[in-house]
Amino acid sequence: MKAILVIPDTATRRRCKVSNVFALTWRPDHPGSHYDLGLMFWPGGEILNGAGFRALRSLFEAAIETDEPDMVCAVLGVPQGEPGIVRSGGS
């Protein structure tokens, strides 16, 4: 599964000096996983969960572009069709 977190160019992003694209890593066999779905990680190795994604979406208008939106929703523990989790254009 490919997934990137995209933060659009907004005044908030510029003021906070946040990068605009982050490659996320899915680890399907991580022992901390619930329901054997795996975990999603930031480039630095920290876990991204549904609450964290929702905070980023609220603050920075962030979105996750992925080839498997339903799986990303399941891994993050949010409902399918969660706003901001979208199919990437290349899929």
Report the distance separating Cα 80 and Cα 74, nearest Å. 7
Give the number of C-alpha atoms closer than 13 A to the C-alpha of residue 90, restricted to the C-beta side: 6
pLDDT tens profile 22-67: 999 999 888 888 778 889 999 889 999 999 999 999 999 999 999 9
The three-state secondary structure class of 65 is: strand
What are the C-alpha distances in Å from 80 to residues 13, 14, 33, 67?
A: 27, 31, 18, 14
- 63-66 and 85-87 beta bridge pairing: parallel
Confidence of residue 91 (pLDDT cuts 50, 70, 90): very low
Helix (H) or strand (E) holding 17: none
The reported pLDDT for the residue numbered 77 is 93
pLDDT tens profile 57-90: 999 999 999 999 999 999 999 999 999 999 997 6
Q: Domain residue spans in the chain?
A: 3-87
The reported pLDDT for the residue numbered 13 is 84
